């Protein structure tokens, strides 16, 4: 477009009047479209977007990011250390010593004859 055409369009736009209640209706339609678009996204995508927005708003320097990452790793290692079973603390089921000494494959099994004939 030429500069004359753009100036003409701007002058015409300045003369136009908006209908009554147009800004409120436009804002309501915009909010409705945003809500419907949010409903079509998965929860994981919404969470990732919000986390990204949160992190971008708080600009941290590289040492602060490194410190936060080190704290997270230390926290995870602490949780793993707390949840790891202790060597003598595990409780196991006790078996009869007589059963341990015998070979289970050589034990005698009682069986009954079954017939499917009538």
Site of tokens 């006790």: 94
Mean pLDDT, contiguous 10-residue spans, the chain (118 residues) = 90 85 92 90 88 76 85 94 70 49 65 71
User: What whole-number distance in Å separates Cα of residue 33 and Cα of residue 70?
Assistant: 41
Domain segments of the chain as ranges = 21-80
Contact 71, 78 (CB under 8 A): no
Question: pLDDT at position 32, please?
Answer: 94
């Amino acid at each position: 477009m030429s500069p004359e055409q753009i100036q003409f369009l701007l002058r015409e736009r300045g003369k136009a009047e908006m209908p009554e209640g147009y800004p409120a209706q436009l804002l309501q339609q915009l909010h409705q479209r945003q809500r419907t678009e949010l409903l079509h996204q998965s929860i994981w995508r919404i969470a990732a977007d919000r986390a990204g927005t949160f992190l971008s708003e708080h600009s941290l320097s590289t040492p602060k990011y490194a410190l936060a990452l080190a704290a997270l790793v230390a926290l995870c290692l602490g949780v793993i250390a707390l949840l790891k079973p202790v060597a003598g603390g595990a409780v196991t089921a006790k078996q009869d010593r007589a059963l341990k000494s015998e070979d289970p494959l050589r034990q005698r099994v009682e069986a009954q004859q079954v017939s499917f004939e009538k």
